[in-house]
Structure 1
């Protein structure tokens, strides 16, 4: 019984560790900072059920904490464009491209990236 419990414990640790590593590799990435300067490209589509859906696509230059730039393309699935002049933290993954974004305040942006955005 003791061997079974140890084996189950080891398997649980391996599974949890594997999921954690996979999540970082697949969804993790490098943060870049962008400022919304356009309304984006409006794309009218239909969802899987055939209902109309609006997407706004943005192509902007983002800067990492060292101030290095990268051209980033990402979408916003909202009925309206993102707020102009807003600052975003965009997570870029070499395998998936942009995986997520969130609005941040200017003082949350590293100084080297902030200098490039000004």
Structure 2
């Protein structure tokens, strides 16, 4: 019985540590933004001499409660993000934006959408 309890406690400690490490490196908070400009464009070259286009964006984003943050993102793509697109950003405190996805306007939480609309009318 003592061995079983010791194994269970060990398993729980390892599982908890693994979850904490995963959340630390890959977890984040969701923020929402709307693309209102094409971003700054630059041409860069990789170590093999191949050229590629990078779009640099500085976006004001809001969480589900309407809290504001400014995020910088670099997109390696052939054309800019679509003007008027709503994005859901996954933001890690240590790494910045770790992922994003385009969402429909009605998928954006009400408080965030209200702030996004207010920010876009002020520009």
Quickly name the TM-score band, shorter chain normalised.
0.7 to 0.9
Gaps of 5+ in 1: none
TM-score, scaled to structure 2: 0.80
Question: Could you tell which deviates more after superposition, 19-28 or 67-76?
Answer: 19-28
CA change 1:12–1:79 in 2 (3 A) is: farther
Are 1:20 and 2:19 counterparts?
yes
Report the equivalent of 1:49: 48
Where in structure 2 are the equivalents of 1:1-118 lying within 5 Å?
18-118=17-117
The C-alpha deviation readout for 1:52-92, integer Å capped at 9, x for no partner, is 01110100100001001111101111110000000000111
How far, CA to CA, are the matches of 2:67 and 2:99 in structure 1?
19
Gaps of 5+ in 2: 118-123
- What value does the CA root-mean-square deviation take over the aligned residues? 2.0
TM-score, scaled to structure 1: 0.83
Count of residue pairs the alignment pairs up: 113
CA change 1:48–1:21 in 2 (3 A) is: farther
